[in-house]
Structure 1
Amino acid sequence: MPMTQGWSIARRLFILQVLVVTALVAIGTTGAVLLARDDAEQAAIDQVKGIAQAVAHNPMVIAAVRGADPSQVLQPYTEDVRKATGTDFIVVMATDRTRFTHTRPELIGQKFIGTIRGALDGGTVIETSVGTLGESVRTVVPVRDAAGAVIALVSVGITTEAINQKLLSRTPAVAIPTALALLLAAAGSWLLSRRLRRQTHGLGPAEMTRMYEYHDAVLHSVREGLVVADRSGTVTLVNDEGRRLLGEGELPPEISALVASRTAVEDEPVLAGDRILVANQREIRSEGQRIGTVLTLRDHTELRALTGELDSVRGLTEALRAQAHEAANRLHTVLTMVELGRTEEAVRLATAELEVAQQLTDQVVGALSEPALAALLLGKSAQAAERGVQLIVDDTSRLDSAPLPSRDLLTVVGNLVDNALEAVAGTEPPREVTVLVVDADGEILVRVGDTGPGLSSEEAFRRGWSTKAEGRGLGLALVKQVVDRHGGSIGVAAGPGGGAVITVRLPVRP
């Protein structure tokens, strides 16, 4: 495996940035050096051209060229000018290239090496060529007499070595900014790499790819709804199960409020549309700092329904057990009275017990043809009797058919009766719960009253409110959920003798 394969993204980015910055700085420095060299050569050309023209126009030079011994006059002069201007040679020559002056006196009288044709024609020659002092940048200009005729030539030059030395003297001006640029770029790349290493936890591309694939697979396959929010409370991720539970578009109000609260919750029941969800919310922290929250949701709608039915069955079972025990006691009493010869009194006692039970059954079954609802009320009656509460089914109750789903009717009536039974528990007698179910005028009216302490309409249907110390407060909230789903109404009022009366109206659609 190549060594670079295990490198983290931060290290790879750092090395790439260093290489790119180094290449850019090298290119920039090379360009700066070439520009500086061109500028130095142009400056040298301008310098030698100006000096040559100044010498050529000097009347002393013009007069000396016409004299018997030009070298005797011109050699000291040109050397003084050369030293004063920092050039490498100043040569005054005849039109046939014979030198009158030179930096090296032994070369006086010899032929000048270089191009002079343009100067003989009255122009200026500028070139870089190799002469007796080596390669140099030189210019050749004509010396004219009063009539304008070319009588001599002046060549001034600066060797390439001198130009390079002058260029090298400027190296710090280029090298120092270059070094500073490299240092700053390296420091910036290192800081960026360090930050990236913290954010990626030192993972390489292969590890991050695998992590993404694993996380994506988990998010799609997990059977819990997942909602992730950032530190500002904005939702950034909802997995497939979360979308199925919460629906598309905006989050339900209770879920939004829970996410916005950023508080940690554990197994908190919440309502989302027609679903009962159990929520768990935790903070997400990294390096000691809070970076968001994660909310998981489990669908307990079916489980809650089954639990409610199980509670009803359990309550009915307990009530039947108590009634069986009570019936056994009464049966023993009747048998004992028969054995004592008091048969007439035994018959009256047994008949009275049968009449009470049969009266309630006949009343419920006669008024409510919906079998599930009738069974529910009979079970609740036995459960109420066990608790010392009298459950009264209003004589005007009437439900001849099931215009609404039985499950919704059981949810409304069952939860209202359960809450009423809880409300009167522990109060002073008489403890009564009254139930009215009527199908009339295109709606089903369900009214449940009790003789308990009462409740306010503001708190009754708030999720989490309960009359039970250990309650979850979902009973009345589920009732309101059914009412909202059918477009009905619900209200709370005080009973005539105290307590509370809850009235639910459910429209019946044809």
Structure 2
Amino acid sequence: MARGSAGSAASRVFIALLAVGVATALLTAGLLLLEGQRAGRAEAERVTQAVAQTLADSPAVHAALAAGDRAAATAALQPMAEEIMAGARVDFVTIMDADGIRITHRDPAEIGAHYLGTIPATPVPLTEESTGTLGPSLRTIVPVQSAGEVIGWVSVGVTVDTVAAALVPRLLAALGIGAALVAMGILGAILARRATRRVAGDLPAGAIRDTLASAESMRTLGEALRAQTHEHGNRLHTAVALIELGRTAEAVELLSASAQQSQTLVDHVAARTDGDPTVGALLLGKTAQAAERGVELIVDIAPDAPRSLLPPIDQVALVGNLIDNAVDAAAAGSEPRWARLTIAPAGGDVVVEVADSGAGVPDALRRRVFEHGFSTKPAGAEGRGVGLALARAVVEEVGGSLALRDGSPTTFRVVLPTEGS
């Protein structure tokens, strides 16, 4: 029976990729808007600072303010201010005397009134956001100095509404990019769904996982039985040769030892009340497979170890992968080369541990051993980068856990619930 939530794997891939695409589009559009707002404000500040400083350094402004005649100064500077407001993309240019009385203003009726913004206590430029007669604005005020004394001030500003209006093109661009990313995400999700459907049809994700587990189980069981058949074939050939040489007693002893070894392992597995013949066949083959590579496979199964909730096909995938990894590690190490499988009860659960005499897993890689596609083994080998990830998946499906224990020897510990837990 297929496990997993409802819905085909292709649909789940489509939904996941679509969600990622939409999230990416929204995040990108949001970042573009924030950057546009920051850039728009920074540009407004630069413009007001540049225009204000230029006017403060203007000889005409200096001459008009130094004369001390406000009416004459207004007559000379108001046309200049209006021309700058029309051509410099600023909303107001206010020139005032040293006391803050307006000489120029966007609204001529406000000329002669006191400036509403902040006048610095020391003659230094100041950029701020303040509210005046035109509403909230970004403004820069710069002192006009003559012979080291302040003779007036120049304030240039851009209203907040103007800054916001300048964001409209950036907003449209951000929305366009976001829409394009959403469209690309939808297209990618559709293509991925089609590709998944060609491979998996409308099967649920759980059924695909089960298929992978079944294939992995058949692979490891097939390899084990092949090794067992090969070992028995070698022994039979040897026994036939001994008989042909007239050494019948040695032939009988060889065959008896072989039968006794296999029978001991069968009895070990069968001694469990809930012994699984599929796992027993797997262990017979894995023992022969390990022996081919010079590794001793030690099996220790407690007679009272209960049956776990894993179905036989998943038990083969789990135990087979763990033993394969242990034998690989032991075979690459130094003498003595061994791998050990232990199955024992623990409370209401059953614990499966597989240890080996190999060099161990480097600390830097311990967290990655269960990742899909990760392997410390040569690329291209069968099942590489899939076994441990698949083993953990089938274990967690029934509420169990699979972990790599700390310390030496390298030990993978599996805790599986049982019907009584």
TM-score, normalisation: structure 2: 0.51
SS of the equivalent of 1:112 reads coil
Shift of 1:89: 0.2
Residue 51 of structure 2: aligned partner: 51
1:104 is matched with which residue? 107
| Aligned CA distance change for structure 1 residues 82 and 274 (closer, same or farther; 3 Å) | same
- Residue 133 in 1 paired to residue 117 in 2? no
Offset at 1:156?
A: 0.1
Residue 141 of structure 1, CA deviation = 0.4
State the Cα deviation string for residues 470-505 of structure 1 (Å, max 9, x = none). xxxxxxxxxxxxxxxxxxxxxxxxxxxxxxxxxxxx
Structure 1 residue 12 corresponds to structure 2 residue 12: yes
Report the secondary structure of 1:130's partner residue.
strand
Q: Note if 1:169 corresponds to 2:177.
A: no
Return the letter of the residue paired with 2:228: R
Q: Which residue of the other structure, out of 231, 238, 252, is the alignment partner of 2:222?
A: 238
Query: Matched residues in 1 for 2:247 and 2:128: separation?
Result: 111
CA distance in structure 1 between the partners assigned to 2:21 and 2:181 by the alignment: 9
* Secondary structure, counterpart of 2:5 in structure 1: helix
Deviations 1:25-83, CA, capped at 9 Å, x for gaps: 32222122212211111111111111111111112112222253122221111001111
Which residue number in structure 1 is paired with residue 96 of structure 2? 93
Taking the aligned partners of 2:174 and 2:125, their CA distance within structure 1 comes to 34
List gaps (5 residues or longer) in structure 2: 238-243, 253-421
Show the 5 A alignment for 1:172-251. Answer: 172-211=172-211, 219=218, 238=222, 240-247=224-231
* Inter-partner Cα distance in structure 2 for 1:55 and 1:403: 118
**Which residue identity lines up with residue 62 of structure 2 in the other structure?**
I
SS in 2 for 1:194: helix
- Give unmatched runs, 5+ long, in structure 1: 220-227, 229-235, 249-271, 277-398, 409-510
Preserved contact between residue 138 and residue 158 of structure 2 (Cα < 8 Å): yes
- What do the CA deviations read for 1:310-340 (whole angstroms, capped 9, x no partner)? xxxxxxxxxxxxxxxxxxxxxxxxxxxxxxx
Q: Give the match for residue 34 of structure 1.
A: 34
Larger relative contact order (CA 8 Å, sep ≥ 6):
2
Residue 22 of structure 1 deviates from its aligned partner by 2.0
Q: Residues of 2 paired with 1:148 and 1:403: CA distance?
A: 122
The verdict on how the C-alpha distance between 1:174 and 1:402 changes in structure 2, with shifts beyond 3 A counting, is: closer
Residue aligned with 1:31, SS: helix
Going from structure 1 to structure 2, the CA distance change for 1:153 and 1:403 (only over 3 Å counts) comes to closer
Q: How many positions carry a matched residue from both structures?
A: 242
**Map 1:384-399 → 2, pairs under 5 A:** none
Helix, strand or coil at the partner of 1:169: helix
Q: Secondary structure at the match of 1:99?
A: coil
Q: What amino acid does structure 1 have at the position aligned with 2:222?
A: V
Q: Take 2:22 and 2:231, find their aligned partners in 1: how far apart are those partners?
A: 54
Asked if the contact 2:56–2:154 (Cα under 8 Å) also holds between the matched residues in 1, the reply is: yes
Q: Secondary structure at the match of 1:100?
A: coil
**1:275 Cα offset (Å):** 7.5
Distance 2:126 2:111 in 1: 21
1:80 maps to 2:64: no
What are the residue-to-residue correspondences of 1:283-432 with 2, within 5 Å?
A: 404=248
1:277-313 residue CA offsets vs partner (Å, 9 max, x unmatched): xxxxxxxxxxxxxxxxxxxxxxxxxxxxxxxxxxxxx
Show the counterpart of 1:116: 119
SS at match of 1:238: helix
Q: 1:101 to 1:247 in 2, by over 3 A?
A: farther
CA–CA distance in structure 1, aligned partners of residues 31 and 209 of structure 2: 42
1:246 partner letter: H
Question: 1:332-363: CA deviations, max 9, x gaps?
Answer: xxxxxxxxxxxxxxxxxxxxxxxxxxxxxxxx
Q: What is the one-letter code of the residue matched to 1:8?
A: S
- Residues 1:56 and 1:212: Cα distance change in structure 2 (over 3 Å): closer
Cα 1:237–1:166 shift into 2, 3 Å = farther
Distance 1:275 1:191, change over 3 A: farther
Q: Residues 43 and 14 (structure 1 numbering): CA distance in 2 closer, same or farther, change over 3 Å?
A: same
Q: How many Å separate the matches in 2 of 1:30 and 1:403?
A: 87
Q: Is the 8 A contact 2:29 2:177 kept in 1?
A: no
1:373-410 Cα offsets, whole Å, 9 max, x none, are xxxxxxxxxxxxxxxxxxxxxxxxxx9x96548x99xx
1:240 Cα deviation (Å)? 4.5
Structure 2 counterparts to residues 445-484 of structure 1, below 5 A? none
What TM-score comes out, normalization by structure 1 length?
Answer: 0.43
Higher strand share: 1
Summarize the Cα distance change of 1:214–1:238 in structure 2 as closer, same or farther, 3 Å threshold: closer
Which of these two proteins has the greater Rg computed from alpha carbons?
Answer: 1
Q: Which amino acid aligns with 2:21?
A: V
**Secondary structure, counterpart of 1:93 in structure 2:** strand
Counterparts in 2 of 1:56 and 1:215: CA distance versus 1, 3 Å: closer
State the shift of 1:273 in Å: 5.0
> Hey, what's the Cα distance between the residues in 2 that align with 1:107 and 1:137?
19
Q: Structure 1's 123 and 216: CA in aligned 2 closer, same or farther, altered over 3 A?
A: closer
Shift of the 61–214 alpha-carbon distance from structure 1 to 2, 3 Å rule, reads: closer
- The CA distance in 2 between the partners of 1:142 and 1:45, in whole Å, is 17
Secondary structure, in 3 states, of the residue corresponding to 2:167?
Answer: helix
Q: Partners of 1:74 and 1:46 in 2: how far apart?
A: 23
